[in-house]
Structure 1
Amino acid sequence: MLYRVGFVRDSESVPASSVALIGPPGPAAAFTAALDQAGLAYETYDELPVELARYRAVVVLAGTYPEPGRIDSSRLAEYVRAGGSVYVEYTLDDGFLPAGPVRDAHIERIFTREALAGIEPLSILDEQLSRAQEVIAPEGLVELLTYGSVAGTHKAVFGPPEHTFPALLDIPVGEGRLLYATTALSHHVRGRYKPVRRWTRLLQLIVAELTGTEAPTDVEVFTEPRVWVASGEPVKVVVRSGAKPPVADVELTEVSPGRYESEPTVLPDGEHTFVVGEQSATVTVGSRAERYRRMVDRGIAWFDRAGMFYDAPDGSRGVAEGFSNEIGFDGKLPFRPVPRGDCYTQTAHAFRLYADLADFPRGHAIAANLMRQVVDEEQLTDRNPLYGAFEPRGSRTDLTRTNNLFADDGGWISLFALISGHLEAGLRGVESLIRTANTELGLQVDPWRTPSTLMVKGWDEFGRSPIEDGLDLTSHWQSSALCAYLYAYGITGEPSYLEIAERGLDHMASHHPRARLETSRTCEAGRFLLPLAGGYFYTRKPLYLETLLDLAAYLKSRQGPDGGFAEWDGKCPPSNEAYGVDEASIFQANGDPVTDQLYGSPFAAWALPIVHQITGEPVFAELAEGVLDYLSRIQIDDPDDEQLHGTWQRAFDFEAWEYFGSNADIGWGPYCVETGWSVAPTLIAAMQYLQGKPFFPEVETAGRNEVVASVRSEFDSILAGEPAEPTFHLRADGRIIRRQGGVQAILGDLEAAGEPAWARNDPWNSYEIYVRGTDNHLHHTYLDDRAGQGRWQQLGDLELADDPVVAFNPGADAIEVYVLAADRRIHHCSMIDVRGGHTPWEPVGTLHFTGSPAVMYDENLGTVRLTANDTAGQDRRTRKVNRWHLPWQDYSHWLTSSPS
């Protein structure tokens, strides 16, 4: 249905001669839109036309951005001196235009000065790592726009910084006027500069300044709620404008300066469009279940559309982390291929739920493949204090390459491992978290722990360590581990899992609302819901319900008109100097209308339907529907955008109604996209609502005690320092696996062509492992009793024809390694003294053999002996004396000779 609302401009546009617009169509489009809105005629050119005098103004665009344009400016200078008005951006010439070194503006942003009418002073125009000329403006010029490192969301809240340089200069030249931009302001559309309305308005104002016309009235019309509203719920029309709209089909009332609203009205199902002047707003009314299902379908399709599964649509090669925050010159977000275990497991659960919701068998295959990779390749099973934890950034490797073991990542991975049925791996993750928790409080110590910290302290000392800086009260770090304990209790009935969860929840809930803020108070509130819900489900403690209701009241107070929870009390830069140098929130000050789709909204949306199901309290259903409605409204809807159609970015400004926020965070700014943490939890939330299945399982009282006891015995054995002899084998896919203490581990990505050989290296308290790779070179790694698995390293360029054989030589404290090379001779090297230090390959004699020798250490002779079959069919033997080998002898000679 179409509704028209009459609207009168402040003043009608003034007829004007045409404007010359010089530049390619892409950059020109930003200015042609502004010229059209001003009612001005224009002519477009690739190069400066010969005759400029007949034009009211001339606009020269940087069509080669990010490289500066180049022109012969002599005619342009003549035109300006004669009284013409010119806008030029990011262009080099022979001296008429301002000049300065070209550089990337890394963290500087553009902000307005007082001289630019139509946009408030110190308003921020976020330009996404632009390239600019660092021009030093001569005295007497008016600086309209400025580059500088400024903290703030919409405003530079601390004023201009000490170091700045111009972004847009107003330069009087003779009788005329030159507006010079040190960067390509016309790039704002392709470069996705934010906020869009402010950039659009800027170009309108530049056109007005050049031509001496009035800028068109800035009008915005929208509905509230925006985009979509559930059947039977009211909607109103809102107009923001400097001019008063007349009463028409929909009566509007001024409720605050420049804001006009209609009365809330319940509309029939369908699509409704409201028109004010040249602006319009459309709202769809329909079923909440259909809307959520549409959101889920589009979100699931995004994984394929955006290439998140690399080139394996079944997830067998993993899922990418997503897109980084830094928007490139081409307007694209950088692909972030990092294989994060938490993203894998959250994505797996989303596809598992979708497989059932949509009868989508591929979803089960994707979920199984992703979980298999995490369980098989990311859990640390070396027998040391890292045991049971998950390497959160890809397959396990040696200790020197192991990332920080983030407790929150480990908690999510452990939880989803349990949910997916990987009971032993999930319980190992839980036990690892328990043994890295403070014994008294049951909460994680040093949750972004380094492997070296754990290795040095060990489990006992770690459990006695104090929790610093109030980290015990931050749900950002603690909630996932608490959820994993609770879920483990539900599926095993093991009371100690519930007991440690209660210790942590009691401590956090009794201190509520005091909390350390990792990102914001709003995010902390959303993340605390799920573990409290699980605690209340299993214990019915009044403290947990009271805290849940307090959280509901807080979230209600922060909920905007479209259902999102505004960020509040954040980790925000305290000065301009602190902007962009550390992790930070995606808003600057309380009252900024920004929501967080990475750390906040998805987790609240996921938990709230579960809390309502467990408690029956209506407020949780209201909050759940509100935030899920909001997420469905802000899901990116642009089929032409393969990167973003169907997904969510981190920061959304619900007043500007676009993805925008403070860009101070050095890691995860407002424009990043995460497969886990953001997309997958949002989809899980919607499907949790649609399917209504219980999340926390009823307590299982039988059949799991043996598994719990077995997993705990693994940890106890490591703590007691009990040895566990390993074995190594070739798997069908060419990977080498280790079995130790009943636990299997895959040893890196090396593809082997044969079975491994290994020997105990007593002086180094390790095992040395050797294998022929598919490249027919020899590769080596080690298993240190304490430090764990090493990385694979190739030993020289010798080409092998058979698998290696090895033996420990106690007489030399060396590992002796023998291979049959492609030249059919047996070659030898030793590993001596230094870890991984091998002698060069040397042939053992000149005979040719059919295969690698048999090798053993002869205690009587105190030397290594070799037996091999030569190509003539004769058995041959030799032994090593010092670092040399005796000549090969035939079998009969070996039997009759006496030791020398």
Structure 2
Amino acid sequence: MKKISWICILLLTGLAASAKDIYCYGSLQNDLYQLLKREGFSIKQYNTPEAAVKAAPKGAGVFIIAARYPAMDPLNKISQQLLDEAGKKSLKLYIEYPTAFPDLSIPAKPLETHLERGVVTADIFGAQLPQMSLLGIHNCHVLPVEVKDPLIVLAKVVGFDKAEYGLADTKSYPLLFEQGNALVCMTGLSNFETGRYGPEGSIKTVWSYILSRMGVNNLDAWKEDVHPMFGRNDKLPATARANSIKKGVAWFDNGRFFIHPSWKQDWLKYGSNGLTPVGPMVSQSKPNGDGSLGILEGHTSTIYYDGTQQYRYWMRADVQGEVSMALAAAGSFLNNKTYKEKSANLIDYLFKTSNMRAGAKNDPTSAAYGLIGWATTNAGTFYGDDNARAILGMIGAAGYLHTNKWDKELAEAIMGNFRTTGKYGFRGERLEEGDIIKNGWQHYENRDIIFPSPHFESWMWACYLWLYNKTNYAPLLTKTKEAIRITMESYPDKWKWGSSMQTQRARMILPLAWLVRVEDTRDHREWLDKMVHEITKYQDESGAIREELGKGKGMFKSLSKNEDYGTDEGSLIFRNGEKAACMLYTCNFALFSLNEAYTATGKYKDVVDKLSDFLTRVQVSSQVHKDLDGAWFRGFDYGRWDYWASNSDAGWGTWCTLTGWIQSWIVTTQVQIQQQQSFWDVTKNSAIGGPGKAVIESMMKK
């Protein structure tokens, strides 16, 4: 009896061990095999698909995956003989990215895609992933084939998390389907961790289905190379915000965004294109500059199959000013001399070295005097909003650095904009240097233009109010009050809302807060209260501020058909109610503006703290991608708690980063909240009043 018992035990032990065996062809570094290894499976690798099928016992699961996706694998050829042998043994097959398969006409090269997303076309994944659900299979390399009834296809479609217009008017490519006794995939679906596929929950659902068919029923060791710093419900440590500041400012260096003389030619190569200045990420082996040659814009939103993102090599004025502020703020908070030096170098670069304040812009007799060019590639283009953020950034930096070095240039920049502002306080979307020189600045001062778009107009009003506080030059106040009155009376139906109504609200709060600072009246407080209420009624318990579309058509192309996806700037959402927060246009500026509103009135602290905590949580954490660690992406789905949204924006989509717009306003405001300060407080001792009055007298002479 004892002998029989021991034999049974040995047999059962052998069966248990074999149940944890995975038979495979492909690289052991593949994300799927690494996941299964973490789950406790023994990966039995074979040199050919045929060898894996031959070795597998009856009823086992066999994974056949291309060795080096997206490269074609000449050994990954599936023959009818292999399928027949697998059928005789009742093997469960998962075959990925084959170069040959019976009855399938597979091309010699894959089709590389960027805007296309996975679309679920079968009702097999459960309620969490119904038909038309979207999957981010980034930079998908697909082998186009024709099959009936695919489970997932690849297509360019409109939508936040589902294909809103279906697939009828767009080309689709089968990705996952059943073929005989095999589950076949025509792309590198197993590249899910390296390629940063998402949303995480949806990709995990797909793989849970595939693996359950293969006899694997639990996924407890799932990993992501890029993820939020904290979960939605994690208790934040007392040091969380301070650490967020440290990581946020360190990101500028970790990303190698400061141009260094040794690789300046790369910037000239990729950054000289004024339309698409995009190039490869800067290698971690290259040195950082000291700010004297400027700082790059950040990442594009396209994620490649290896999980990397390209850089945008634009040299923009707003970015220089904004980053100078963040460096100075963090340098003061962390007592870091290097950050302070880089801050000053960026301002000197903008004003003295670059062409963004050169030529007619630096000629006191020119109508364009004082204005700041949009970028080195577009030095004669003037967006009032971009000028405003560059100016505010440098004012803030000067406050933290305790210097009056750039007071004259800052006053000239503000007044250069003010004297090209129309009768009612509006400038419009942008002006051009050639037109200003031709027409004279008085032409623009006398225009009847009304342009109620806080995104384009309102932060320049904040600059006017700030300089009024230092100089008492009355027109700065009177014209700004008129513009604010018209804009508030136009709300909401006449506002030009661009890609987000929340953006407009976030931008409007700052001049309203500073109007209370310089002229504290009941009407001005009511305006501020109204706008704070209008934006924060969409604030989630997590602190996220939900995006919202305005009524009618915004300023960018309406996505009325699938082919419109990715052709213009646009929103993160398709319809109101989708749980997306935007760190490029809304949450970043809202944090700064709401903190100014709180410190001006003593109200709104709860919404500031909630938003600050949210931004602390969703900051990027990555041990794999150092150039992303500590950044904030534009888009975040606070329902899924994942970096996900519609990536339709042609320039600045869901996964873009910006050294200026996003990073700098968040880092700076986190410093101010941590130190219980405001921008107004930091800059209150500015001595710009003296040189400012002289500049006003000189520049406003008729």
Q: TM-score, normalised by structure 1?
A: 0.65
Inter-partner Cα distance in structure 2 for 1:51 and 1:488: 75
Which structure 2 segments of 5+ residues have no match? Answer: 1-15, 223-227, 261-287, 399-403
Give 1:76's aligned residue: 82
- The Cα of 1:48 is off from its aligned counterpart by 2.1
1:649 to 608, 633, 639: 633
> Does residue 44 of the first structure (1) align with residue 23 of the second (2)?
no
The 1:512/1:115 distance shift into structure 2, 3 A limit, reads: closer
Q: Is the 8 A contact 1:135 1:165 kept in 2?
A: no
Mean Cα deviation higher: 622-631 or 320-329: 320-329
Residue 499 of structure 1 corresponds to which residue in structure 2?
Answer: 478
Which residue does 2:251 correspond to in 1?
A: 302
Task: Check conservation: 2:157, 2:170, Cα contact below 8 A.
Answer: no
Please give the residue correspondences for 1:87-166 in structure 2 after superposition, counting only pairs within 5 Å.
Answer: 87-93=94-100, 97-100=104-107, 102-118=110-126, 119-137=129-147, 141-166=148-173
1:598 counterpart = 2:584: yes
Report the CA distance between 1:215 and its aligned residue.
4.9
CA distance in 1, matches of 2:695, 2:293: 31
Query: Partner letter of residue 607 of structure 2?
Result: L
- Equivalent AA in structure 2 for residue 202 of structure 1: V
- Give the whole-Å Cα distance in 1 for the aligned partners of 2:157 and 2:559: 10
- TM-fit CA distance, 1:407: 1.5
Specify the code of the residue in structure 2 equivalent to 1:614: A
* Alignment-derived partner of residue 282 in structure 2: none
What is the root-mean-square deviation of aligned Cα atoms in Å?
Answer: 3.1
State the shift of 1:628 in Å.
0.3
Contact 1:341 1:413 in 2 (8 A): yes
1:201 — aligned with what? Answer: 205
SS at match of 1:142: coil
Partner of 1:355: 331
Contact 2:612 2:670 in 1 (8 A): yes
Going from structure 1 to structure 2, the CA distance change for 1:51 and 1:583 (only over 3 Å counts) comes to closer
Q: Would the aligned equivalents of 2:254 and 2:626 in 1 still touch at CA under 8 Å?
A: yes
CA 1:166–1:434: 2 relative to 1, 3 Å: same
Q: Deviations over 1:665-705 (max 9, x none)?
A: 01001101111111110011111212233533798999846
Q: What does the per-residue CA deviation read over 1:184-203, in whole Å, with 9 as the maximum and x for residues that have no partner?
A: 11122111111122112212
Aligned residue for 1:62? 66
Q: Secondary structure at the match of 1:442?
A: coil
Partner of 1:510: 489
- 1:361 deviates by 2.0
Matched residue of 2:303: which SS?
A: coil
Structure with the higher fraction of residues in strand conformation:
1
Other-structure match for 1:448: 430
* Structure-1 separation of matches of 2:37 and 2:237: 39
- Call closer, same or farther: CA 1:450–1:184 in 2, change over 3 Å: farther
**Paired residue for 1:544?**
524
Q: Which amino acid aligns with 2:426?
A: L
What corresponds to 1:414 in structure 2?
391
Unaligned runs of 5+ in 1: 1-12, 221-225, 230-234, 237-282, 720-900
| Percent sequence identity over aligned pairs | 22
Q: In structure 2, what residue type is equivalent to 1:33?
A: L
Query: Equivalent of 2:676, from 688, 692, 709?
Result: 692
Deviation at 1:451, TM superposition (A): 3.7
CA contact (8 A) 2:146 2:174 kept: no
- Residues 411, 688 of structure 2: 8 Å contact kept: no
Paired residue for 1:21, among 24, 33, 43? 24
SS in 1 for 2:44: strand
Contact 1:512–1:547 at 8 Å: present in 2 too?
no
Give deviations 1:593-644, integer Å, cap 9, x for gaps.
1111111111111122221111122xx1011001001111111223443111
**Aligned pair partner of 1:405 in 347, 359, 382:** 382
Q: Is the 8 A contact 2:408 2:691 kept in 1?
A: no
Within 2, Cα distance between the matches of 1:329 and 1:194?
13
Distance 1:464 1:215, change over 3 A: farther
Mapping 1:827-866, distance limit 5 Å: none
Give the greater-gyration-radius structure (CA): 1
The residue type paired with residue 370 of structure 2 is G
**CA 1:413–1:78 in structure 2 vs 1: closer, same or farther (change >3 Å)?**
same
Q: Partners in 2 of 1:540 and 1:96 — Cα distance?
A: 78
Match of 2:276 in 1: none
Deviation string 1:710-761 (CA, Å, 9 cap, x unpaired) is 4553565xx8xxxxxxxxxxxxxxxxxxxxxxxxxxxxxxxxxxxxxxxxxx
Contact 1:193–1:199 (CA under 8 A) maintained in structure 2 = yes
What residue is the counterpart of 2:263 in the other structure?
none
Structure 1 residues 481-880: aligned runs within 5 Å: 481-514=460-493, 515-569=495-549, 573-617=559-603, 620-696=604-680, 704=689, 707-710=692-695, 712-714=697-699, 716=701
Give the structure with the larger helix fraction: 2
Residue 371 of structure 1 and its aligned partner are, at CA, apart by: 0.9
Say which of 298, 301, 309 aligns to 1:333. 309
How many aligned positions are there? 625
Q: Give the superposition deviation at 1:458.
A: 3.8
Counterpart Cα distance in 1 of 2:36 and 2:169: 33
Structure 1 counterpart SS, 2:646: coil
Corresponding letter in the other structure for 2:529: L
Bigger shift: residues 455-464 or 661-670: 455-464
1:179 to 183, 202, 216: 183
Q: Secondary structure at the match of 1:167?
A: strand
Distance 1:467 1:129 in 2: 44
Give CA-to-partner distance per residue, 1:862-896, whole Å, 9 cap, x none. xxxxxxxxxxxxxxxxxxxxxxxxxxxxxxxxxxx
Letter in 2 for 1:569: L
| 1:575 positional shift | 3.0
Structure 1 contact 606–688 (Cα < 8 Å) conserved = no
Q: Is the 8 A contact 1:63 1:69 kept in 2?
A: yes
The whole-number CA distance in structure 2 between the counterparts of 1:700 and 1:218 is: 56
Q: Quick one: which amino acid aligns to residue 387 of structure 1?
A: Y
CA distance change for structure 1 residues 363 and 151 in 2, over 3 Å: closer, same or farther? same
2-structure distance, mates of 1:18, 1:705: 79
Residue 326 of structure 1 deviates from its aligned partner by: 1.1
State the distance in 1 between where 2:133 and 2:33 align. 21
1:341/1:391 contact within 8 Å kept: yes
- Residues 453 and 496, structure 2, Cα contact 8 Å, conserved in 1: yes
Distance 1:685 1:193, change over 3 A: same
Whole-angstrom distance in 1 between the partners of 2:650 and 2:230: 34
Q: Secondary structure at the match of 1:658?
A: coil
Residues 91 and 483 (structure 1 numbering): CA distance in 2 closer, same or farther, change over 3 Å?
Answer: same
Deviation at 1:349, TM superposition (A): 1.1
Is the Cα–Cα contact under 8 Å of residues 110 and 167 in structure 1 kept in the other structure? no
Residue of structure 2 equivalent to 1:393:
375
Q: Could you tell me how far apart the structure 2 residues matched to 1:128 and 1:449 are?
A: 38
| Letter aligned with residue 293 of structure 2 | R
Q: Contact 2:327–2:342 at 8 Å: present in 1 too?
A: yes
Counterparts of 2:420 and 2:168 in 1: how far apart (Å)? 44
Spell out, residue by residue over 1:560-590, the C-alpha distance to the aligned partner (whole angstroms, 9 max, x if none). Answer: 1211111111656233232111100112221
Change (3 A) 1:145 1:466: farther
Structure 2 Cα separation of the partners of residues 43 and 358 of structure 1 = 52
Structure-2 separation of matches of 1:715 and 1:106: 51
**Relative to structure 1, is the Cα distance of residues 434 and 637 closer, same or farther in structure 2, using a 3 angstrom cutoff?**
same
Deviation, 1:93, is 2.5
